Amino acid sequence: MTYHQDVFLPAWEQLRPTLCKWGDTGLEFIPTGPMMCCTVMWHHDESTFYTNYGHNICWVHHSKHAMLYAEGEGVLLMVADFVSANYGWLHTLDGTLQDQMLFKAGKA
C-alpha cells in the first residue's frame, strides 16, 4: 500500500497533463503547450479460464444414477495481452503479429 501511495500515484499524477482525455464521444482533449505530444498508457489485460469452471446442478430420479464429473477446476488457460484506449490491442502496424500470450498451466 505504501508503494501505491508514495510512488505509483504521484508518478501517475505527474503524467496527467500529458494524457489524452477520452469520453463517450471519443477523444475530448489533446494536451497543448510545451509538451505537444500525448503520453500513451498501455494496460496489461490477463484472463484465466478453467475447463470445469461451470457448476452443473440437476435433479436425478432415484432410479437413475447421476453423471460423475472431474473434481477440481480442471485445465487452466491464461490469456495475457496489452491494450490502449488510443490504439486498441497491441500488434504490429500491418496487423500480422500481436503481443498476446496463451499459457496452458498444469501439473506437468
pLDDT over threshold 80, residue 98: yes
Give the confidence band of 70 by pLDDT, cuts at 50, 70, 90: low
* Rounded-to-integer distance, Cα 87 and Cα 90, Å: 7
Q: What is the pLDDT of residues 8-51, one digit of tens each?
A: 999 989 988 888 777 788 766 666 666 567 788 889 988 888 77
Same domain, yes or no: 20 and 60? no
Grid cell, residue 74, equals 480442471
φ/ψ of residue 13, rounded to 5: -65, -35
Please state the domain count of the chain. 2
Same domain, yes or no: 1 and 51? no
pLDDT over threshold 80, residue 103: yes
Residues 6+ apart with CB under 8 A from 80: 44, 45, 46, 100, 101, 103
Instruction: Indicate the residue type of 101.
Output: M
| Residue 69 near residue 52 (C-beta atoms within 8 A) | yes
- The residue segments making up the domain with residue 77 are 42-108
- Whole-number pLDDT of residue 9: 94
Same domain, yes or no: 3 and 54? no
Q: Is the pTM above the cut of 0.75? A: no
